[in-house]
Each structure stands twice: as structure tokens, then as C-alpha cells.
């Protein structure tokens, strides 16, 4: 995710909801790095016994990680200097304060000042600094967003409520690729990286339901198969509603217009909801074709075959446009057991992919026709 590692002198912000696993991850990271460089873990949130308890739960009680319970910024920097830390973790930036400023920890002025001081400290000492930031509901603490422009790298920890899976998303990355995702599972022994993550968010129902399709996305540095759902319902009263969860609502509005104009499917007087299952957010236009398929499937109340996966961008003139990484997407769909793919014609692979029937489409009305024939009873 970091494009090769932590850069000395850089500052990284790790944001996320309370309880998601920030301290766990950084304890694991700190303990691993402490074998090579001095690492100082400064916590203003938990007591030493609490941190030790976590470390022993992680099997890390013998790691040479230096712990400091301190909320005073100057003291934290002094200790980091004293031990010549290669990595300083500050957990969390919202609970420390500079004595040069009045104002409680977490107030916007304190937050900015502390972050700026730590950026100067990182640059002048070549220490890598990781700041933990709690994502907060409107309230007493300012959120990590106000610090994004001050730091080199911003990562957010996300999860679907109740799920043991965690995603870290890079939203800013001065030294590596942006929009990377990393996948973890929270286990009894802390966070573990997940391999074969491309189908992590896919649950395969016994019998596919109308309105549910599988999209092959690729906006996270790798192919990712996701379930996309649509519900098209007659409006009972009032204005028709349009809602997009995890997807771009503007894009949905555009696709509805394209469906009307170029495929003669009118949903103007229907409530339309689309949802990306699993709490993910995907912004790439390559989900267009899957959104359209989910809408058509729900509207017709007919399920698409379980082995179908789709991707493709749709243009305003009704054309299905090629997307990047077409072949990777198709190979991944096949690897995950999908047998039919609807894809832009220009993304047809040069060599056939074993076990995958790729139906190339150039226009949205052709795609709708293909879908109807695939859904035929
Ligand atoms: P924590 O790292 O304290 O979250 P944050 O710092 O983001 O607030 O993680 C808290 C949750 O993780 C807590 O509910 C317990 C759980 N957990 C595990 O499931 N396994 C573990 O090995 C550890 C250390 C924590
Ligand atoms: Mg914590």
C-alpha cells in the first residue's frame, strides 16, 4: 500500500472509527519494525497495562517496542529524540496537546498545531511518524479530515458493521499509488492480511435474486468482485426517489437517462435504489454496465444467471466503452468460478479464456438484449 514501505521523515495519518483496530494494527506494525529500528509508541488514550494487555493478546509482549503514556506533545517529541526513534506512533492526535496553546486536546487549533509540529519534527529528524485519528460524529473532537493536507499519506480504516473484515484505503499517498486497498481480518490474534481478497465481499446466494448482479471492479489496484443490487419500485406517492449506496448518485441519474433514451426502458416514475453490498465504495465508471443490469433485472423481476459477471462504462450516446484492465477482470472472474461475462467489445481478450463465455457488447440496447436472453426461463 505504501509503495515500498514507510518513508523516513514522512507523516502518515491513519483514520477510522473508534474500535475498528487502529491501535491493534499499529501495535503489530510497531512490534515488527522494532526489531530493526527504535520504535516509540506514544499513547494518550490507554494506560500502560491496557497496552500491554493488547500486546500480550497479540503474542507480542516480548517485542522491543517502547511505550509511552503521554499527552504532552513536547514530551512525546523529546522522548522520540532521546531514543532516536525511526518510527513514532501517536495514538491519537486528538488526545495530545501542545502546552504552547490553550484549548483542549482535539480542538481544531490544537489538532492543527500538534500535527504541524509533528510534521516539522519528522522532517528535521528523519523519523517516520504515524498519527492515529478518530473519525468522529459531529461533536467535541475535530476529525482527521482537517489534517489531510498537512500530511504525506492518508489511510482510512473501514469495515462493514458487524463484519470481521477490515479495509484500509489510501486516499492520499505522496510516495505510492493512491486509491489502493488492503484487506485484513480481525482475528483473536489481531489483524491478519487476507489473500485471495478479490471475492471477499461476495456472498453467493443459493438462488440469485432479481436485481442482484456481480460487477468486476478494479479501482483498488487489483480486480475486486462485488455484488451490486438494485430495487426498482413503482412510486406510491410523491416524487420518485433515487438513492445510491456505495456508488455515484449522479452516475445513476445519467444511466437512467441513457436507459430511457437508448434502450427504451422508462423508469422516470419509479423509485430507484442501488446498493453496493459489503459497505464498499466504488467510484469507477466501469460499474455502469452492472448498474444497468441490476436495474433491468429488478425492473423485469427476473434474476440473472448465477455465473454472470459484468463490467463496462456507458457513454451518453448509449455506447459501451472499454475500461482499463479488461483482461485482468475477465481472468479474475473466471478464476472465481464465473462462466459468462458481459463486457465492452474493445475489451475482448485476444485469446479466449478457458471456461468463460465472454459476450461482447457495443451498445446499451444490445447489452439489455443479451441480458434478456440470459434471463430467459
Ligand atoms: P483497537 O485496536 O483498540 O481499535 P481502535 O484503536 O481503532 O479504537 O481494536 C479494538 C477491537 O478489536 C476490540 O473490540 C477488540 C478487537 N480485537 C480483536 O478482535 N482481536 C485482537 O487480537 C485485538 C487486540 C483486538
Ligand atoms: Mg485505539
Taking a 5 Å cut-off on Cβ, the residues next to ion ligand 2 are 23
Helices (H), 68-224: 73-82, 108-125
Nearest-5° Cα angle at 249, 245 to 255: 115
pLDDT at 141: 56
Distance 173 CA to ligand 2 centre (A): 23
Q: How confident is the model at residue 49 (pLDDT cuts 50, 70, 90)?
A: very high
Q: Which of 27-41, 68-82, 273-287 has the lowest mean pLDDT?
A: 273-287
What secondary structure letter does DSSP report for 197?
A: G
Cell numbers for 187, please give them: 482475528
Residue whose CA lies nearest to ligand 1 atom number 1: 21
Residues 6+ apart with CB under 8 A from 60: 27, 28, 31
Q: What is the largest CA-CA distance in the chain?
A: 73
Distance of CA 172 to the CA centre of its chain: 12
- Dist CA 130 CA 12 (whole Å): 5
Q: What angle do CA 221, 225, 227 make, to 5 degrees?
A: 135
DSSP state of 325: T
Q: What's the order of all strands across the beta sheet hosting 340-344?
A: 242-245, 270-276, 224-234, 212-217, 308-310, 340-344, 357-361
The verdict on the CB of residue 189 being under 6 Å from ligand 1 is yes
Query: What atom in ligand 1 is closest to the CA of residue 186?
Result: 19
Determine the distance separating the centroid of ligand 1 and the alpha carbon of 21, expressed in angstroms. 5
Residue 153: per-residue pLDDT = 95
**pTM for the structure as a whole:** 0.77
C-alpha closest to that of 141 among 102, 101, 76, 95: 95
Weakest mean pLDDT among 77-91, 168-182, 218-232, 278-292: 168-182
| Residue 110 beta carbon below 6 angstroms from any ligand 1 atom | no
Distance CA 359, CA 206 (A): 24
Best probe residue, ligand 1, of 15, 17, 18, 24 (max atoms within 8 Å of C-beta): 24
Of 271 and 182, the one with more pLDDT: 271
Residue 362 DSSP SS3: coil
Quickly list H helices, 48-168: 48-57, 73-82, 108-125
* Spatial separation of the C-alpha atoms in residues 100 and 110, rounded to whole Å: 10
Task: Tell me the average pLDDT of the chain.
Answer: 92
C-alpha 105/C-alpha 71 separation (Å) is 9
C-alpha of 306 from chain center: 25
Query: Considering only CA atoms, which residue is closest to atom 13 of ligand 1?
Result: 19
C-alpha span between 314 and 254 (Å, rounded): 9
33 contacts 39 by C-beta, under 8 angstroms: yes
Burial class (CB in 10 A: 0-12, 13-18, 19+), 288: buried
Q: Would you say 334 and 351 are in contact if contact means Cβ atoms under 8 Å apart?
A: no
Q: In the prediction, which pLDDT does 364 show?
A: 97
Residue-wise pLDDT for 136-152, tens only, equals: 765 455 688 889 999 99
CA 144 to ligand 1 center in whole angstroms = 20
The answer to whether 91 and 43 are in contact (CB under 8 A) is yes
190 lines ligand 1 (CB under 6 A): yes
What is the CA(182)–ligand 1 centre distance, in A?
Answer: 18
**CB 5 near ligand 1, within 6 Å:** no
Question: What confidence tens digit (pLDDT) does each residue in 230-260 have?
Answer: 999 988 788 899 999 999 999 999 999 999 9
Average pLDDT for residues 20-25, to the nearest whole number?
Answer: 96
Sign of CA dihedral 132, 133, 135, 138: positive
Cell digits for 34? Answer: 522494532
Burial (Cβ within 10 Å: 0-12, 13-18, ≥19) of residue 35: exposed
Interval 254-307: pLDDT, tens = 999 999 999 999 998 899 999 998 778 888 999 999 999 999 999 999 999 999
Mutate to test the pocket of ligand 1, among 18, 21, 63 (most ligand atoms within 8 A of CB): 21
Q: How far is the centre of ligand 1, averaged over its atoms, from the C-alpha of 191 (Å)?
A: 9
From the list 183, 245, 246, 180, the residue with the least C-alpha distance to 219 is 180
Q: Provide the β-strand partners of residue 133.
A: 15
**Is the beta carbon of 50 within 6 A of some atom in ligand 1?**
no
Give the cell for residue 81: 529524540
Separation between Cα atoms, residue 86 and residue 37, nearest integer Å: 6
CA distance 4 to 2: 6
For the residues 337-361, what does the mean pLDDT come to?
Answer: 95
Give percent above pLDDT 70 in the chain: 98
User: CA 135, CA 141: separation in Å to the nearest integer?
Assistant: 9
Percentage of residues of the chain with pLDDT beyond 90? 74
Amino acid at each position: 500500500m505504501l509503495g515500498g514501505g514507510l518513508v523516513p521523515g514522512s507523516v502518515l495519518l491513519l483514520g477510522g472509527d473508534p474500535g475498528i483496530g487502529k491501535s491493534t494494527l499499529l501495535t503489530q506494525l510497531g512490534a515488527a519494525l522494532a526489531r530493526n529500528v527504535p520504535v516509540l509508541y506514544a499513547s494518550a488514550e490507554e494506560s500502560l497495562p491496557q497496552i500491554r494487555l493488547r500486546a500480550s493478546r497479540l503474542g507480542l509482549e516480548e517485542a522491543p517496542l517502547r511505550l509511552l503514556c503521554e499527552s504532552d506533545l513536547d514530551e512525546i517529541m523529546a522522548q522520540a529524540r532521546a531514543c532516536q526513534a525511526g518510527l513514532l506512533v501517536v495514538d491519537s492526535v486528538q488526545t495530545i496537546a501542545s502546552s504552547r496553546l490553550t484549548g483542549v486536546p482535539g480542538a481544531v487549533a490544537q489538532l492543527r498545531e500538534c500535527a504541524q509540529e509533528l510534521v516539522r519534527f519528522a522532517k528535521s529528524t528523519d523519523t517516520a511518524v504515524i498519527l492515529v485519528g478518530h473519525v468522529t460524529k459531529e461533536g467535541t473532537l475535530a476529525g482527521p479530515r482537517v489534517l489531510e493536507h498537512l500530511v504525506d499519506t492518508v489511510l482510512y480504516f473501514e469495515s462493514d458493521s458487524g463484519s470481521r473484515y477490515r479495509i484500509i484505503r489510501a486516499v492520499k499517498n505522496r510516495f505510492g499509488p493512491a486509491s489502493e486497498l488492503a484487506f485484513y481480518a480481525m482475528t483473536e490474534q489481531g489483524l491478519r492480511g487476507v489473500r485471495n481478497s478479490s471475492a471477499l465481499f461476495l456472498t453467493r446466494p443459493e438462488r440469485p435474486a432479481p436485481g442482484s448482479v456481480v460487477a468486476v471492479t478494479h479501482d483498488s489496484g487489483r480486480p475486486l468482485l462485488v455484488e451490486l443490487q438494485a430495487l426498482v419500485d413503482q412510486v406510491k406517492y410523491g416524487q420518485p426517489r433515487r438513492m445510491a449506496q456505495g456508488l455515484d448518485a449522479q452516475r445513476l441519474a445519467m444511466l437512467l437517462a441513457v436507459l430511457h433514451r437508448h434502450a427504451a426502458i422508462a423508469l422516470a416514475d419509479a423509485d430507484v435504489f442501488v446498493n453496493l453490498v459489503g459497505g464498499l465504495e466504488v467510484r469507477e465508471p466501469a460499474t455502469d454496465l452492472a448498474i444497468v443490469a441490476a436495474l433491468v433485472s429488478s425492473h423485469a423481476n427476473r434474476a440473472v444467471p448465477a455465473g454472470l459477471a459484468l463490467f463496462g462504462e456507458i457513454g451518453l450516446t448509449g455506447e459501451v466503452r472499454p475500461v482499463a484492465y479488461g483482461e485482468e477482470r475477465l481472468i479474475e472472474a473466471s478464476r472465481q468460478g464465473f462462466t459468462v461475462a458481459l463486457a465492452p467489445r474493445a475489451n475482448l481478450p485476444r485469446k479466449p479464456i478457458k471456461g468463460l463465455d465472454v459476450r461482447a457488447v457495443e451498445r446499451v440496447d444490445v447489452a439489455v438484449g443479451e441480458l434478456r436472453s440470459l434471463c430467459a426461463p
